[in-house]
Structure 1
Amino acid sequence: MSLLSRFCWRKILPKTLGIFNMNANGCGISAFHCQNFSTMDRKNLIKKEIIFQGRFCITKNDFNIVLGTHGINSHFTKIGSLHYSTDSKENSNPKVKKPDYEITKKKEINDPKQETNSSEPEPVSMTKRIQIVVGIVAIWGVIYFIIKYLKSKEEITKREEQVSQIDIGAKDYELIDHLGQKRTKADFMGQWLLLYFGFTHCPDICPEELEKMAEIIDLVDKDKSVPDILPIFISVDPERDTPEVVKNYIAEFHKKFVGLTGTKEQVKQAAKTFRVYFSAGPRDEDNDYIVDHTIVMYLMNPAGNFVDYYGSRGVATPDIVSGIKKNMKNYKRLHG
């Protein structure tokens, strides 16, 4: 506390109370005007922290002068106020009766910073930001998968249209099954088929391919997410492969096998329908011969259309199974 403040606090304030105009550093009095107050008034003023509606404030800790025309600093809390007459005649005479005053109820002075902050929007919490980001990512993810699904479906449709134009198994045929029953293409509609052309007197290749087919059938049927598949063996040796011979032959590989044979003309027509080449070789002394033929498996869908073929003996069984399942699922996506 400066010497001037001490002097005012100890000497001037007990007797008089006036209006001060101070400079920014709180030192130096440019003007002074005082009014007399009683001892009780001084005690009340000193006891309580009061900001006057005039041009100064008095606190119990210090003697502070408030600058400005109105003398109210926003950093102070207004507890009370002194109302006094500002008439020039009354103020010119220090001996005039005491000014009327009253202590008003406590009021808070609004902080301009607080008002400014209240008008600003509340900041978004981190949790809400994360939720917004997650929502945007989820929406874009859904859009991405929809586009991907539609594009994939379009590609599958396009491929099916291209494959359906391949004239494999498109025409009707008529053969005799291993039970002696006449069979046509219509009898197998609505089922997935895996066809193989061979003959029962084949020494090695045909047995190997039929064993491979039996394994494929078991693996496909084991997966309940895809439909079952029916294996069909079509003989290219009608002269020796009667229905009875075919029945005994296919029983060695899988119980689901359906064996088909027929007359030379019927077998020739069926082979032509599936674009399979076959030709009987020269006979030996025992009238035995080998039939040269196309080594291929055909996959046919329930609509009776060609879907895929597996012609290389080097293709692994799991790869064939995977290809069959994929084609089945694609067909379901398009046709339900």
Structure 2
Amino acid sequence: MDSPSPLPSLIRKKRDGERLEDAEIRGFVRGVTEGTAQQGQIGAMLMAIRLRGMDAGETLALTRAMATSGRALAWPPAWHGLVVDKHSTGGVGDKVSLALAPALAACGCKVPMISGRGLGHTGGTLDKLEAIPGFRVSLSPEEMRSALERVGCCIVGQSEELAPADRVLYGLRDVTATVDSVPLITASILSKKAAEQLSALVLDVKFGSAALYPTQDSARELARSLVEVGTQLGIRTVAVLSRMDQPLGWAVGNSLEVLEALECLDGGGPPDLRQLVTVLGGVLLWQCGKAAGAAQGRELLGRALDDGSARSIFEAMLGAQGVPHDTAHRLCSGTPAQRRQLLGTAKICEELPALQEGWVQEVRALPLAQVLHGLGAGRSRAGDPVDPLVGAELLVGAGQHLRAGEPWLRVHHEGTLGEGGRRALQDALCLGPEPPRDPPPLVAETITPPSPPAVPVPAAPARPHRGESPGTEPGTGAGVGQRSPRRDAASPAPLPPPVPPPVPPAVPPLCHPLCQRPPSQPLTAGAVPPGRSEPPRLPLWQRAAVAGAVAGLAGAGWLYLRREKERRLRQRRLRDLRALALGQADFQLQDTSGAPRSRADLLGRWVLLYFGFTHCPDVCPEELEKLCRAVELLEAVPGLPPVQPLFITVDPARDDAAALGRYLRDFHPRLQGLTGTAEQVRAAAGAFRVYVSAGPPDPDGDYVVDHSVLTFLLGPDGLVRDCYGRSRTAEELAKSVRGHMESYEPLPPG
């Protein structure tokens, strides 16, 4: 047994930069676990470690001591090599674990995921799951094993039995400003993973303006520490470095992120979320032998998301962790509106308009997260409660064009957002006069043991703008936020073996006469170097001809580059539209004659679609008049295909077929109206991510329906090609539609 050393002397020793022995580290961890160390002493030691650091041996000793401070899990021999887990260093909008754990289980892995709560401005997986009514994050080891046997995965917090020392230190790091210490992060993450008795582990180490580490170099330092210590603990460990400057996905906030994770489990959701889920899962399937390589692993993960098997596992996991069966089923199988109703909504849903016109360069994650933290979405001290309903939905992304007054963010809060918070949120939106350049890839590096060089990810799967081609309108506000595709779902290439860095070519000798002239022969302007005769000069007319030819070639090159850029933008937009699949869910409604209508009836023609209600006093009739005026302008252009104007009600209780027919007949002779049951209308609105909320009735029983004010343009292939807010005039709308018609390219299969 180690002889205890007084804790103040250990603090002093580390404060002065000395190395702690293994026995001294075990003594400190024992004091933390047994409660003999005071919180002030623990905080002082954490700060000393943060300022003075730890070498690799100290970090390994701290990790082992924390891992053995409690009970280690034990698994059946049949699970050998299949027990895997993932850990993220934390980001804004990071809900990867909610989709990844059940997807891995659907592929045959066992996933005992031990997660944490929100730390600083970053969200916590446990906080997100606790937004689901009845979900239990505290399971005993026996309950965890039972869940893995029946379901294949569970997501739990640190119990008093598993790594109890880390449970104490994790809660204190946030309030002692020691969150970013590499040794403390390494020990915190890997102590839990060592107690899980894992076979393989993948680490998502984030860097950027909203991550713990702002630069890729600093994140690489942590990643290498994690991979080195994890390997020494006997776990096959790989680290992935991913960027965290913008939120991951479109939703930030606990309940909103649960909804977005369910979209991913439906086979949809934001492309960048799906990319990260499949990249991390692909590495794990490769590491545990379920796939021949990371690329094949990504395909298997994607298949589990697309065929519904991952969602079924998620539903079973909810039931195994305390969620009532009916609640779990309705949450996983319901419509977006039903899911939102189950989780609840904040008192106020407020859309922020753009203060000026411009191209979206980025939406910065840090100021967004800081404001939401102040509204109750995060905690400042360990044990503080969080409000699961507070959050925000991005309505735009990089590469979109915004007009002044158009909404770009939807904020959910309890009435506590003041003018200072609104100003801070507006600072998160970065606009510019020109479209942004292609952003760097979401996944930057993959680091594998034993301490190999970082393997850069090829630039081909760069994360594209979440935006439109030039001249288009930004995405919409709706359900979970209609907007352009977030990022390309492309994944990095399979992990190649470490390659030694290329040897730079030898520097050639300085053989040019200019480099060999003696100091006694200074070279003056216009002088000819020794040994050379002056070249003959061309006649003036020949020089003018050459200059003209060069200028012509430069102009032609510029035009070519411009056309090539526009072509790439169109191709990227087609890929993004395929990834977004907006409006692709089928719906069943009735027209004003009572005939059934579905999405199939919209295929093969251009459609201008508006969601509204007949009792609207001003906005809806104004928007319909504008829509119909744009249709008339397009009808006057010879050779253009006809455009079908279409109105779908968001108030089916009052807008039956007869009421719609009476209301629409004065707008345009070809204007069609669709209605249905409340559930059918919700499904149609949800397919286009249109936000709908009926207000309270007045004494006369009248009420107003709050909804997204947007007009959608659908192409003959049924895809949403553009959307238009209230600021667009009928002339501008017609011009944009005509441009889409002239440059129309059907979406290729795939």
The TM-score with structure 2 as length reference comes to: 0.26
Q: Which residue of 1 aligns with 2:706?
A: 292
User: Equivalent residue for 2:610?
Assistant: 196
Matches within 5 A, 1:217-232: 217-232=631-646
* Partner Cα distance (1:141, 1:225) in 2: 33
In 2, the alpha carbon distance for the partners of 1:220 and 1:245 equals: 28
In structure 1, what is the Cα distance between the partners aligned to 2:641 and 2:563?
Answer: 22
1:162 positional shift: 1.6
Q: Indicate whether 1:279 and 2:689 are aligned.
A: no
Counterpart residue identity of residue 619, structure 2: I
Residues 276-310 of structure 1: per-residue CA shift (max 9 Å, x gap): 11122122232221111111111111111111111
Aligned to 2:568: 154
1:290 is matched by which residue type in structure 2? V
Equivalent residue letter for 1:310:
Y
Paired position in structure 1 for 2:659: 245
Match of 1:314 among 721, 724, 727: 727
Alignment of 1:167-186 (within 5 A): 167-186=581-600
Equivalent pairs, count: 209
**How many angstroms apart in 1 are the aligned matches of 2:670 and 2:654?**
23
> Map of 1:51-200 to 2, 5 A cutoff?
148-200=562-614
The AA in structure 2 aligned to 1:323 is S
Residues 224-272 of structure 1, C-alpha deviations (whole Å, 9 max, x = no match): 2432211110001111111111111111111111100000110010011
Give the structure 1 partner of residue 484 of structure 2.
none
CA distance in 2, matches of 1:227, 1:145: 30
Aligned position for 1:123: none
Structure 2: distance between partners of 1:245 and 1:314: 28
Displacement of 1:207 after TM fit? 0.7
> Aligned residue for 1:64?
none
Any conservation in 1 of the 2:721–2:740 contact (CA below 8 Å)?
A: yes
Matches of 1:144 and 1:225, distance apart in 2? 32
Question: How far 1:137 moved relative to its partner?
Answer: 9.6
Larger Rg: 1
Match of 1:324 in 2: 737
- Deviation track 1:11-49 (CA, whole Å, cap 9, x = no partner) reads xxxxxxxxxxxxxxxxxxxxxxxxxxxxxxxxxxxxxxx
Pick from 254, 257, 261: which aligns with 2:668? Answer: 254
Q: What is the deviation of 1:145?
A: 5.7
Tell me how far 1:157 sits from its aligned partner.
1.5
Within 2, Cα distance between the matches of 1:279 and 1:303? 30
In the alignment, what sits opposite 1:266? 680
Check the 8 A contact 1:247/1:259 in 2, yes or no: yes
Give the TM-score taking structure 1 as reference length. 0.55
Deviation at 1:315, TM superposition (A): 2.2
Letter in structure 1 aligned against 2:586: D
Structure 1 residue identity aligned to 2:708 = T
- SS of 1:327's partner is helix
1:122-160 deviation digits (Å, cap 9, x = unpaired): xxxx9xxxxxx9999999988876665454323211122
RMSD value, Cα: 3.0
CA contact 2:711–2:723 (8 Å) conserved in 1: yes
Aligned residue in 2 for 1:207 = 621
Q: Distance in 2 between matches of 1:334 and 1:173?
A: 21
Kindly indicate whether the alpha-carbon contact (under 8 Å) linking 2:578 and 2:747 is maintained by their aligned counterparts in 1: no
Q: How does 1:32-43 map to 2 (within 5 A)?
A: none
Aligned residue for 2:744, secondary structure, equals: helix
Paired letter, 1:237: D
Counterparts of 1:19-58 in structure 2 under 5 Å?
Answer: none
Look up the SS of the partner of 2:666 in the other structure. Answer: coil
Q: Distance in 1 between matches of 2:660 and 2:569?
A: 41
Cα distance in 2 for partners of 1:224, 1:161 equals: 31
The one-letter code of the counterpart of 2:739 is: K
What secondary structure is seen at the aligned counterpart in 1 of 2:679? helix
Tell me, which stretches of 5 or more residues in structure 1 are unaligned?
1-125, 127-132
CA distance in 2, matches of 1:150, 1:266: 43
Cα gap change, 1:141 to 1:299, in 2 (>3 Å): same
| CA–CA distance in structure 1, aligned partners of residues 600 and 592 of structure 2 | 17
After TM superposition, give the deviation of residue 210 of structure 1 in Å: 0.6
Instruction: State which drifts further: 263-272 or 154-163.
Output: 154-163
Measured against aligned partners, the alpha-carbon deviations of 1:302-326 in whole angstroms (never above 9, x if no partner) come to 1111111112x22222222221111
Cα distance in structure 1, aligned partners of 2:737 and 2:549: 38
User: What is the CA–CA distance in structure 1 between the aligned matches of 2:673 and 2:626, rounded to whole Å?
Assistant: 16
**SS in structure 2 of the partner of residue 309 of structure 1:** strand
User: Which digits, 9 at most, give the CA deviation of each residue in 1:66-111, with x for residues without a partner?
Assistant: xxxxxxxxxxxxxxxxxxxxxxxxxxxxxxxxxxxxxxxxxxxxxx
**Does the 8 A contact of 2:717 with 2:746 survive in 1?**
no
Residue identity in the other structure for 2:720: F
C-alpha separation in 2, matches of 1:224 and 1:314: 27
Give the C-alpha shift of residue 222 in structure 1.
1.5
Change (3 A) 1:137 1:226: farther
* 8 A contact 1:164–1:306 mirrored in 2: no
Range that drifts further, 190-199 or 275-284:
275-284
Query: CA 1:153 to 1:334, structure 2 compared with 1: closer, same or farther past 3 Å?
Result: farther
Tell me, yes or no, if structure 1 residue 302 matches structure 2 residue 724. no
Gaps of 5+ in 2: 1-540, 542-546
Contact 1:157 1:334 in 2 (8 A): no
Give percent identity, aligned residues only: 39
Indicate how the Cα distance of structure 1 residues 314 and 332 shifts in structure 2: closer, same or farther if over 3 A, else same.
Answer: same
Mapped to 1, the partners of 2:718 and 2:634 lie a distance apart of 19
1-structure distance, mates of 2:685, 2:691:
7
Counterpart amino acid of residue 729 in structure 2: A
Relative distance call for 1:304 and 1:268 in structure 2 (3 A) is: same
Q: Distance in 2 between matches of 1:317 and 1:303?
A: 24
Q: Cα distance 1:225–1:151, how it changes in 2: closer, same or farther (>3 A)?
A: farther
CA 143–314 in structure 1, closer or farther in 2 if over 3 Å, else same? closer
Whether the 8 Å contact between 1:278 and 1:294 is mirrored in structure 2 is: yes
